[in-house]
Amino acid sequence: NAGVTQTPKFRVLKTGQSMTLLCAQDMNHEYMYWYRQDPGMGLRLIHYSVGEGTTAKGEVPDGYNVSRLKKQNFLLGLESAAPSQTSVYFCASSPDPYNEQFFGPGTRLTVL
């Protein structure tokens, strides 16, 4: 089992460009999450999904959109990237909200 994988590992964007981060899990988990981690800020929840076809806002959703068309995939989109979105993005999954979350290796995004 690969667990939780994220694509790409690194990306550099210019302000205003768009991109999509892909998260995939092979554990048949219902719940999936997107976080960003910034120095001195800890992990902050952007969006999450409680099952295929569902999405919900987390703590810092502005500037991001998500989609969960397939149970195993959770996509995070940036429509018009801004320097404030420079961060490390982590995807995670869990079978339900009462269990541990399994994290992917992260994507380091720089917006110039």
Q: Does 43 bind another protein (CB under 8 A)?
A: yes
Q: Does 97 bind another protein (CB under 8 A)?
A: yes
Beta strands of the chain (E only): which ranges? 4-7, 10-13, 19-25, 31-38, 42-49, 56-57, 65-67, 73-78, 87-94, 102-103, 107-111
Q: Which of 23, 29, 33, 111 binds another protein (CB under 8 A)?
A: 33
DSSP assigned state of 83: G
Q: Does 59 bind another protein (CB under 8 A)?
A: yes
Q: Which of 7, 15, 84, 99 binds another protein (CB under 8 A)?
A: 99
* Gap between the terminal Cα atoms of the chain: 36
Contact positions toward another protein, by CB under 8 A? 4, 31, 33, 35, 40-45, 48, 50, 56, 58-59, 90, 97-106
